[in-house]
Amino acid sequence: MVLPKPIYENLPYLYFLISGALLAYGKSWHFIFSASIFYIVACVVLVTRSAHRRLDKTPHLKTKHVIPELIYEYLPYCYGAIGIFILMSTVQPILQFIAFALFVLAFRNLMCRRANRSKGKTLF
C-alpha cells in the first residue's frame, strides 16, 4: 500500500497530535500509555526517515562520539517528552521555565541537525 505524499510526509506529526490529544483528554494510565506509544512511533519514523535521507552519509573519520549514536538520535525527542511531562504535572514557575528550556533545546538540536544533514559535502 502506497500513501499519497502529503499524507506520508505528515503522518508522524499526526501521531504527535494524537499523542497530545490523548494526554489532554485523560489522566489515567491508559491514556498516558497510548500517548507514549504514539509519541515513540512518531520519533522512530522521523529518525528513520532522517537516516535514509541524509546527504552526509559518509562518517567523519576524525569525529569521536561522546555518546552512542542511537542515544544521540533520540535525545531531542526525550528532551521534548520530559518537557511535556514537567509542564503537565506542575504549576511552579521555575519548573515550567525548565520545561520551556527543554523545548527550546530540543527544537534547536533538531533544526541544527536538519541544516547539517540536508546540505552536501563541504570543506568545513
So where are the chain's domains? 1-54, 68-124
Contact 29, 96 (CB under 8 A): no
Task: Return d(Cα 50, Cα 78) in angstroms, integer.
Answer: 17
Number of H helices, E strands in the chain: 4, 0
The identity of residue 73, as a single letter, is E
Position 107 scores a pLDDT of: 93
Position 64 scores a pLDDT of: 66
In tens, the pLDDT along 58-103 reads 655 556 668 888 888 899 999 999 999 898 888 899 999 999 999 9
Position 80 scores a pLDDT of: 92
Mean pLDDT for 9-20 is 92
Position 63 scores a pLDDT of: 61
Report the 3 state secondary structure along 91-103.
CCHHHHHHHHHHH
Cα-based angle 34, 14, 7 (whole degrees, multiple of 5): 135
Burial class (CB in 10 A: 0-12, 13-18, 19+), 38: buried
Position 38 scores a pLDDT of: 95
Percent of the chain residues topping a pLDDT of 70: 86
Which residue would you say has higher pLDDT here, 71 or 37?
37
Average pLDDT, the chain: 85
Mean pLDDT for 13-28 is 90
Which residue would you say has higher pLDDT here, 24 or 59?
24
Say whether 38 sits in a helix, a strand or coil. Answer: helix
The three grid cell numbers given for residue 42, joined into one nine-digit string:
512518531
Task: Return d(Cα 16, Cα 80) in angstroms, integer.
Answer: 11
pTM beyond 0.85: the answer is no
